[in-house]
Structure 1
Amino acid sequence: MQRKKDHTIRVLVIDDRMEDAESIVTGLRNDGLAVRANRPTSLDEYRAMLAGQPVDLVLAAATSKTVEPTQALTLARATGNDLPVILIADGHDDAGLAAMIGLGADNIALRNRDGHLRRAVEREYRDLNARRDLRHLDARLHETERRCDALIDSSRDPIAYIHEGMHIRANQAYLEMFGYADFDEVEGMSILDMVAPADANDFKTLLKQLSKGGETPPPHHLTAHDADGQEFPATMEFSPATYDGEPCLQIIFRRKETAFDPAMMEQMETLRRQDVATGLLNRPTFLQSLEDAVARSASAHEHHGLLLIQPDHFGSLVQSVGINNVDALMAALAERLRPLLDEQVEAARFGEQVIAVLARGSSHAETEVLARDIVSVIGGRILETGDHSLTVTASVGAVQVSERNAQVPRVLARAQQLLETAQGVGGNRMELYDPGAIDRAEQDRINAWIERIRGALTNDQLVLHYQPIISLHGNNAPFFDVLMRMDNGTGELVMPNAFLPIAEEHGLIRDLDRGVIAKAVRTLAANAKREMRFIVRISRASIEDTTLPAFIQQVLQEHAIPANRLVVQINESKVSTQVNEAAEFNRQLAAFGAGFCIDQFGVGLSSAQLIAHLRPRFVKLDGSFMTDYARSPEQQARVRDLGAAATASGASTIACDVNDSGSMTTLFLANVEYVQGNFLAPPSPDLSFDF
């Protein structure tokens, strides 16, 4: 099975007993967290680990004597790094918990309370990343402000910044236009002093509207006067801004002789904001509107609806109308949506095949009604696009924007995820996320996925992709890693992370494992002359299936495939909690010649001991080891140690996620025999790779 790639959390586990530390790490990985752990065996080793390698979290047993909790906290704080420490308690007594809080721990978790440690780790890691992001954004903000200052100073447009009607910044072009030599002459001066008396009242009214948070007005035409009292016609353009952390107003002041005719200017502004093909807003304009709406959700607690709309089976539609008529297709969809738009509901062509809608001030119920209306209005009638009459349906991914999720990337990513989910279960439907009511309709979504998975198993809609595994020792025999996808019924593929968790939770994962194995063996039979070898993933549940080895043997025999052409793979974290079951599973595979592989190898605290006991045919290093591998002596040393341990146990080592040519020589010298990764060859339904 395809595993979902997560960012690896680097932890130090402080516990007197190796078994307890291993249990902590295994529990976290089995709960779905990608964890790479180290365990210090002395205070000096703890100090060296803090100084010598990047660490995200420290997990320290409250009863540890090897490194006592006070020492763990003191040394972690002494690094000067943002390094959260979670104390792990064995029991629940108020005095003990109070004492741990008094030590300054960032969080406390109960060892044997189901999910408690996982939630503590997730919370602290999420907060750590938020603080890191904030520091990174703060640095970028200062750099951006510095560059903006330089651009403003060098701009030929007269630009000023106004706070509460007073000048707080102006560039040289602005000063020259009004006849001032230095900013000191206008600092603190009212902007009204630049406006001729005849237009002063109208301009004052405009400033009051802007100070109350009104919409940014179009260009404003008036008569200005300079330091000598000479009047001249001018145009002012406004935009909200901040200066030294304070909200203010940016004004671009242009003499009329350099400004456009008002009617032409309005027409050009309209064209600048529109998508030519559909007449809807274009992407940059919509993003600005979305940023404004999200900002108001954060500051004024407003609620809005964001909806992404995409025609279902778009590839088939393009084949029907032709690539040259895609714009006409999207224009027809836009016309179908137009009756649903008004002053509070605006739409944009957000991508080649995606339309975005922003419903300002929309409640959850109103956003849901709008999403259903969109699905209905598109799918309810024949769509006319030039010479073609099409039956088109669409899916909608909708997000309720509120204070809780007021970040543009977050709401866009969530809407896109929901759009893909809606299409993955057949399309012609909407999926709505509301941060205040996450579980609404969740069961309907799960039920739809369950039916889709069962349908895929029944109708042979599991699709296999293959990624080459390349030998560093000159073995040119074809060797592929098998990755599963699902056909949603129209030829479009759904990635496994969309449905595997549901399959595991509802008892369908073993059937998927068997379906993939059977299809992989049929593929081997269809390509028997090439003598290929496949690695196929299975789940933790299948390790417990005592009948699976016999099933694998039967399928291989039915298709006359030598058993050594098939290798069965499972994650190290799954095996480490089922060592006896895994050993028996491997023994049964070996009895008829099939292979066994441990994936994500090297992230546990006792990886070498594990493979010495299990004796797998292959180990596949965790992909996190390849992050910056060519420039990281620490990563290289760790890979060398793991490669040596694999060789000692009789296993061949595979490095996955290899992403640069510079790693290849180093991997060869580190006892690594095979490599794979998108840099070498991405997964593909094609088996024609030339080894």
Structure 2
Amino acid sequence: MSYALDNLRLLIAHDSQDEAEQLMNALRNAGRATRAQLALGEDDLVRALKGGAWELMLCRPTFGDSSFESVMSHLNRLGKAIPVILLEDNFTPDTIKAGMSLGARGVVPNDDRDLLSLMVDRVIEFLRLRKELQHSEIVRHDAEKRLSLLMDQSRDAIAYVLDGMHIHANDNYVEMFGYESADDLAGVPIMDMVSASDHAKLKQLLRSRAQDESQTHELECKGVNTEGSEFDATFTFSASTYDGEACTQIVIRAAGVDENEMAERLQEMSQKDQVTGLFSRSWFMDRVDESVAQAANEGRLSTVLYLRLDDFEHHQSGLGLDGADDILKSVAEWLRAEVGEAHLARVDGEDFAVLQPVADMDEAAELAETLRAGIETLMPEVAAKTVHVTASVGVSFVREDARSSQETLTTALKCCNQAQRENAGKGNAVKVHDPMDDVAAGSSEAVAMQVRQALEQGAFNLRYQPLMSLEDEADHAFEVFVNLPQKQGEAMEAKEFMPVAADQGLVGKIDRWVVLNAMRAAAAFSEPVSLVLNLNGASLADATLADWLGKAMRAAKMDGSRVTFQFSEGDAATYLKQAGAFAEKVKALGCGISISRFGGGLDPFKLFQHIPATMVKFEGSFTQELSKAEGRERLTSIIKQVKEGNRKTVVGFVESAAQMQALWTLGGVDYLQGYYLQAPMDKLEIPDAA
């Protein structure tokens, strides 16, 4: 399994907030998406370490009342395996040696941004390899469990030998040589199992194995038990591992064994996962192969659902491997009961797959959502704790034109990966594959052509999502979004086509199309409404935009007090001077200014020194962290600071009653927005609940 860090969670321990912001901007400019937090002293550091899950830390030798040495001490005390890069002023062999000896993953000069970027890339690669190693260890652990079960159930006598000494044996081997238990046999030399007359042959075989342990060797000899009785035996020596250590496996085949029966038993054992009792990936792939053939011959549509438990590493670190196995067993038992006659397998560490005939894509999507929602409410009891488990689900299809089982499963896996990136990277979502996804993802030229055609033909689609006012029921405000309709499947979202449009220099034209058509719709609406109109960074750099907006508002007969222009915190920081100048011009038109995705930077409040914002929309992760006390405290604090400038506040991504209740009682929130309240609508209308 391959792991990727799409958004780096970065903790910066620094003595200068300005320099820390420069560090973060340098990493972003180098293509590293980051979410950072700054620790200016000891209290900040401890709070951040206890309250966040960090992937990398940048640290100055001293910062406030703390130091690099204190950082490493806290990491050890709290059991945090966070790699630390030391930003050293005095970059010498001695300081490098001192930093590395204290546990730094790397040491770089404080003023060398290029070297820092390279070092961060290397640490990220280290993190990726560490995650893959952890996954491999889990797979190995599972394989050893399977092997141990097979060994215990085998009719053959089997033992493991290291450096000529026994380290483990099954009951048949122990009984064959007259020992009472495997513990009594531990440490006994293999030479004691063979008649003295055959010692020379055994020594020769062991010398041969020392030269090439990968080969399998057989020794026909006289075995000898603890009473000195000899018997005919054939010892088979082969390379193996036991408890993670390379060793030699010895098998003495039992007489009168039915080879066909044993082959069937081995085949069955190889196809079953010993932790969950579900079938293995190889068995599942055979079933998908059969489904591909049925689709080609009979036109039968089937779906493959790829389910992955979210944040499973957290459960492993908190409950241990055995506790994590208990979670897998609980989920497997529930899935087995839920999917009935559908084919079900455990295909990887925390990954399950379902193969089910369906009538259409909607039925597959409903099944995926049912499984996702069911797992979310499962709440298994593990080690006297109630564990909250969620899963992300990717959905692909075995159609008449399906090429292979591997392609079908890979497509489902890719959709599962996309689902895991939803909800601020927390997953618990469903992604259904659409054939148009392949075209959109594979051809920027095709997307650019669609964008140009949409501009020429006015073929974009506007969607309106209400902002629910907590103070005035008569305040009907809507944020405006744009998508690109497709001939087949769902419309292409802005996040998919805007990067291509930006490369082609078309973003500004799209923004103007959205503004003009949204204002026309609002002006024609039966009741007064307010609009929040999103602008991209490229539009902020257009010095002619503000004047054009004034003309467009007059043409649409739209009052400036009912229009708020919104751009992201990242674009505001990148185009700071242009954003400030634009804001002053539209403010003169009576319009409001909103900054979206607010709170992701180290000190977003600095933007207010340059941009007269009248509203902010907080970054989505704040909503996701409302279930944690520290998350609520952090949002309360940032709301308080925002409100000091008499600015309106918007909290989006409200997806549950619990989140809504928490925000309702939080204080300082002016508007709520999210799918729980109302999904974006294709036309401007006031929802019944508004």
TM-score band, normalised by shorter chain: 0.5 to 0.7
- The 3 A distance-change label for structure 1 pair 272 and 463 is closer
- The 3 A distance-change label for structure 1 pair 139 and 68 is same
Q: How far apart are the structure 1 equivalents of 2:79 and 2:632?
A: 27
* 8 Å contact from structure 2 (residues 303, 398) kept in 1: no
* 8 Å contact from structure 2 (residues 295, 398) kept in 1: no
2:667 equivalent to 1:670: yes
* SS in structure 1 at match of 2:655: coil
Q: How far apart are the structure 2 equivalents of 1:589 and 1:658?
A: 30
- The match for 1:544 is 541
* 8 Å contact from structure 1 (residues 160, 250) kept in 2: no
- The 3 A distance-change label for structure 1 pair 421 and 77 is farther
1:423 to 436, 440, 446: 436
- The 3 A distance-change label for structure 1 pair 651 and 171 is farther
- The 3 A distance-change label for structure 1 pair 408 and 663 is closer
Q: Deviations over 1:394-446 (max 9, x none)?
A: xx9998xxxxxxx99469869x99x989836968xx95xxxxxxxxxxxxx33
- The match for 1:619 is 616
Could you tell me which amino acid in structure 2 is paired with residue 624 of structure 1? S
- The match for 1:485 is 483
Could you tell me which amino acid in structure 2 is paired with residue 607 of structure 1? P
Alignment map for 1:266-285 (pairs within 5 Å):
274-275=290-291, 277-278=294-295
Question: Displacement of 1:548 after TM fit?
Answer: 1.2
- The match for 2:580 is 583
- The match for 2:550 is 553
Alignment map for 1:190-209 (pairs within 5 Å):
none
Could you tell me which amino acid in structure 2 is paired with residue 538 of structure 1? L
Q: Deviations over 1:149-191 (max 9, x none)?
A: 999999xx99999899xxx99999xxxxxxxxx999xx999xx
- The match for 2:264 is 237
2:397 to 332, 343, 351: 351
Could you tell me which amino acid in structure 2 is paired with residue 465 of structure 1? R
Q: Deviations over 1:532-557 (max 9, x none)?
A: 22222222222221211122222221
Alignment map for 1:251-266 (pairs within 5 Å):
none
- The 3 A distance-change label for structure 1 pair 588 and 627 is same
- The 3 A distance-change label for structure 1 pair 171 and 105 is same
Alignment map for 1:132-171 (pairs within 5 Å):
135=134
- The match for 1:473 is 471
1:566 to 539, 563, 567: 563
Q: How far apart are the structure 1 equivalents of 2:261 and 2:150?
A: 20
Q: Deviations over 1:305-364 (max 9, x none)?
A: xxxxxxxxxx9xx99xx99xxxxxxxxxxxxxxxxxxxxxxxxx961658543499xxxx
Q: How far apart are the structure 1 equivalents of 2:632 and 2:565?
A: 27
- The 3 A distance-change label for structure 1 pair 40 and 236 is closer
Alignment map for 1:585-600 (pairs within 5 Å):
585-600=582-597
Alignment map for 1:195-594 (pairs within 5 Å):
236-237=263-264, 250=270, 274-275=290-291, 277-278=294-295, 351=397, 353=399, 356-358=402-404, 409=413, 423=436, 445-488=443-486, 492-526=490-524, 528-594=525-591
Q: Deviations over 1:99-126 (max 9, x none)?
A: 7556543245677767765565465356
- The 3 A distance-change label for structure 1 pair 21 and 270 is closer
Q: How far apart are the structure 1 equivalents of 2:522 and 2:416?
A: 42
* SS in structure 2 at match of 1:593: coil
- The 3 A distance-change label for structure 1 pair 115 and 553 is farther
Question: Displacement of 1:620 after TM fit?
Answer: 0.8
- The 3 A distance-change label for structure 1 pair 285 and 547 is closer
2:123 equivalent to 1:124: yes
Q: How far apart are the structure 1 equivalents of 2:572 and 2:641?
A: 17
Could you tell me which amino acid in structure 2 is paired with residue 646 of structure 1? V
Alignment map for 1:25-174 (pairs within 5 Å):
25-29=24-28, 33-61=32-60, 67-88=66-87, 104-108=103-107, 117=116, 120-121=119-120, 124-125=123-124, 127-128=126-127, 131=130, 135=134
* 8 Å contact from structure 2 (residues 396, 408) kept in 1: no
Q: How far apart are the structure 1 equivalents of 2:110 and 2:170?
A: 61
Q: Deviations over 1:131-162 (max 9, x none)?
A: 4576578669869988x8999999xx999998
CA RMSD of aligned residues (A): 5.8
- The match for 2:21 is 22
* 8 Å contact from structure 2 (residues 57, 82) kept in 1: yes
* SS in structure 1 at match of 2:566: strand
Q: How far apart are the structure 2 equivalents of 1:425 and 1:47?
A: 46
| Higher RCO (CA 8 Å, separation ≥ 6 residues) | 1
- The match for 2:381 is none
* 8 Å contact from structure 1 (residues 63, 89) kept in 2: no
* SS in structure 1 at match of 2:558: coil
Question: Displacement of 1:599 after TM fit?
Answer: 1.0
Q: How far apart are the structure 1 equivalents of 2:22 and 2:408?
A: 40
* 8 Å contact from structure 1 (residues 658, 677) kept in 2: yes
- The 3 A distance-change label for structure 1 pair 519 and 31 is farther
TM-score scaled by length of structure 2: 0.59
Could you tell me which amino acid in structure 1 is paired with residue 680 of structure 2? P
Q: How far apart are the structure 2 equivalents of 1:126 and 1:569?
A: 36
* 8 Å contact from structure 1 (residues 521, 561) kept in 2: yes
Could you tell me which amino acid in structure 1 is paired with residue 127 of structure 2? L
Percent of pairs with identical residues: 22
* SS in structure 1 at match of 2:526: helix
Unaligned runs of 5+ in 2: 161-167, 173-179, 194-217, 219-233, 241-252, 273-284, 308-342, 350-358, 364-394, 422-431
* 8 Å contact from structure 2 (residues 652, 673) kept in 1: yes
Q: How far apart are the structure 1 equivalents of 2:633 and 2:257?
A: 76
- The 3 A distance-change label for structure 1 pair 8 and 650 is farther
Q: How far apart are the structure 2 equivalents of 1:250 and 1:426?
A: 39
Could you tell me which amino acid in structure 1 is paired with residue 652 of structure 2? C
- The match for 1:218 is none
* 8 Å contact from structure 1 (residues 162, 251) kept in 2: no
Q: How far apart are the structure 1 equivalents of 2:147 and 2:621?
A: 40
- The 3 A distance-change label for structure 1 pair 473 and 251 is closer
Q: How far apart are the structure 2 equivalents of 1:618 and 1:553?
A: 20
Could you tell me which amino acid in structure 2 is paired with residue 482 of structure 1? V
Question: Displacement of 1:18 after TM fit?
Answer: 1.8
TM-score scaled by length of structure 1: 0.59
Question: Displacement of 1:515 after TM fit?
Answer: 2.5
Question: Displacement of 1:448 after TM fit?
Answer: 3.4
Q: How far apart are the structure 1 equivalents of 2:150 and 2:405?
A: 34
Q: How far apart are the structure 1 equivalents of 2:651 and 2:22?
A: 26
- The match for 1:309 is none
Unaligned runs of 5+ in 1: 1-5, 173-181, 193-203, 213-224, 242-248, 253-268, 296-314, 324-348, 361-395, 400-406, 432-444
- The 3 A distance-change label for structure 1 pair 251 and 619 is closer
Could you tell me which amino acid in structure 2 is paired with residue 559 of structure 1? A
- The match for 1:220 is none
* SS in structure 1 at match of 2:638: helix
- The 3 A distance-change label for structure 1 pair 283 and 447 is closer
